Amino acid sequence: MTPLVDDRGHLFGRINLFDATVVLFAFLLIPIGYGTALLFRTPAVRIDSVTPVPITREERRVAGGSRLSAKLKVHGSGLRPMLRASIGDAAAIGFVFENPNSADVLVGEVPAGANDLILFDGVQEVARSARAVVIPSRPPARLRAVGTFLNLDKPTADGLRVGGQTPDEIIQLGPPSVDRRTTSAGATPLDAAADRWRRSAVVVLQCDPDPDNEPCTIGGRSLAGSPAPVFTLAGPSSTPVSFRVDEVLPFSAPSSVIARVRIAGAPELLDLMKTGDREALLDERAAIVVDLRDRRAAANGVSTIDVVLRLGVDESEEGWRYRGRAIKAGAPLSLTTDRYVVSGVVLSLTPGADDRRAPPR
């Protein structure tokens, strides 16, 4: 009978024991290697759902001035921090990894319509969700910008017209005046030799919605802020003109309301107030004094008077707003005319004679 291992080290008298051990070890490595590959293999990326979600103020700030049109919550599997996203042919502003099953995609300027969401690992496409990102078509936002055309020559100042030569419509226009600047010696002409002029105006501007709850932006520049922004518009015969935006108002026509306001101030100041006084605002929202009532003298030399104003307000979810500020009983209100500035407290508000709508609740 042949022994299992003979005296020469052969298995069954034929196979070298060392060779047999090597072969057996190699066979054992196959399942070990397969298991290791399964354990450490990068999982395939899969997109299960794509859902639009609200954009936070912090995300808009991190966008670095780029306009965010949407934020998408992506659910799936195999998601990784180093992935990048594309919406159709447009690269996303950011891919924010949360965990292997969830991530956010920040979407910038993307054409309106249905677009594919594509995920890349480097330059290799690893997942796609067809027509998952729907960007609605929206008309350009419109609003009223109250401001001043600056540094005009006389023919250009005289050539401005309501209805406008600009791509944006001029709806109200003040008279020309000499453009002045303030120096240590007082107000002097900006450039007497060049004879520079200015004109106040209300202009309807078309712009993109601002991502940070501000009125809107034009060419990436906000219409709000300090100092007041200056934009170049097309004037008469397409001549470029500078327009400084001092205040931004809604495009829609205001509602007329009657406000009773109690003004407090020195008697000499209250003596300046007359029926018909108008706030120094070119827009139709400007407050107008329609009556003066119940003047009282206080012991400390401060007098009060109840002033009835007609003014234009805009409706919002919080109620009426006057020039961007909430207006209701108890709210402060200032009146600035060409001759004086006074402040008081709103006592009551009622719809004007030409507008009987109740304030929104």
> Could you state, in order of their start, the residue ranges of all structural domains in the chain?
10-40, 49-135, 141-250, 255-351
CATH of 49-135, one of 2.60.120, 3.90.1310, 3.30.1340, 2.60.40: 2.60.40
Structure tokens at 126: 């690893």
- Helix (H) or strand (E) holding 229, with range, is none
CB 163 within 8 A of CB 230: no
Q: How far apart are the C-alpha atoms of 323 and 144, rounded to whole Å?
A: 11
With tokens 């407290």, the residue in question is 345
Strand ranges, E, within 136-254? 141-152, 169-173, 177-178, 180-183, 186-189, 197-207, 217-218, 221-222, 230-234, 240-250
- Largest alpha-carbon pair distance within the chain? 135
Please choose, from the candidates 294, 299, 305, the residue with its C-alpha nearest in 3D space to the C-alpha of residue 265: 305
| Identity of the amino acid at 81 | P
Predicted local confidence at residue 251, as pLDDT:
86
- The ranges of the chain with pLDDT < 70 are 1-20, 22-23, 33-42, 62-66, 164-167, 180-194, 208-215, 219-220, 225, 299, 353-361
Sequence-distant (6+) residues with CB within 8 A of 251 are: 142, 143, 144, 204
Q: How far is CA 147 from CA 12, 190, 317, 341, in A?
A: 104, 18, 27, 20
Enumerate the H helices of the chain as residue ranges: 17-40, 57-62, 154-159, 267-270
